[in-house]
Chain A
């Protein structure tokens, strides 16, 4: 009878104890890492990580800087090339767009025209592969037969001047449009001044 009482008592103690152990079990497992790491360790790791990160960042920054520098160099190079190209194009356009003008009923080269032609000759020397068409034009005043002949003379004046400056005759062809292709369709002095011209076209 006594023995049975002890057993019951023991059970009475053990079962809640067991229950307690079971309910605490998870907690123990959960707190396991904190049991391994000490606060000192954590600091060291963090410092190490920070150092690593800083190093990487520094490298990345360095690389970025290098890339940027390279890019800048390239860009400057490109810009230089572009500018050079632009300059070449501008020179080419200037060559084509800068007409020489004449007085009414005249194919005589004016001083301004001579200066422009000297620039053109220089350009032609720098661009030896280029051949050009020299167009002679007149203003609308006068009759178109005579103006066609006058345009021919104007183109020939410009051509002879360039040949005298050493440009090969083979590179220069002339055509007269007389009064047939005015640059400015107006019927006034300004338009006429513009239309009495020799115009250059690169072939």
Chain B
């Protein structure tokens, strides 16, 4: 732990300097008034010197103290893990040197390296490096062929679905995909899970209106944001149920935003766990798995944090994930994205 070397803070020396300067001017004023009182001369200098104190204080407050406090507040928010956006565009910078350090820190946190360091991304890259996708697809196609020859249509269907799932997950390297393809991937994932759960699981995807469905046909969303959330809903919510688990995706469009709500009727989570999860979503250190903001976290929490992280890195802090849940009453995960139809639109939105 660093020692408190507050006596070396320049801010304190700065304040002490202002106080000392005012004290000197006050002493000068007193001397001038004494001079005036004793020999009747020097009234104007005395008045000017006296008037200068409030003028200096007002100017100091407007041009030094208030800007300093605002910058200090933004730096404090950054150090507590609330925000990175504020420090990237500070209205008043402390000094050139300090700003260089802050900019460098922000670059490290917001760079492509940070995106690529998120665990799930690393996992997919590792899979891609270690597995020859064509070998995988050819093998699955072979299994499908054998299954069809033996009349096992169910196995053939599942193999085909698995192949499509892997093609989407591994092969496609784009950051943004259409909403339709993301939903198609979720449906494939559901079909695969249906083989395990049977009638105990249902999935429902609905748009608020047919007009929204048409308007969102070309909408672009980050790849692999829905399937991890649905997977989370199944594993942590629905799996423990003794009745049929329902997972639904409700899509709303506001003109400038796309809101995707993934709901389940599962076991929900306690208030404590919910708070921990939401805090991890909002804390920048938690999002990058750094320091005390990261927490120990369950795998489900890591998946959601990963999705949230990518959204915020791409589009800024105004978008991301919010989780609402109650123990025994299910969970809602609300994903807010900007409405864009081209990748270049995303560049205008981010931090």
Our verdict on whether A and B bind, yes or no, reads no
Query: A: which residues have CB within 8 A of B?
Result: none
Query: B: which residues have CB within 8 A of A?
Result: none
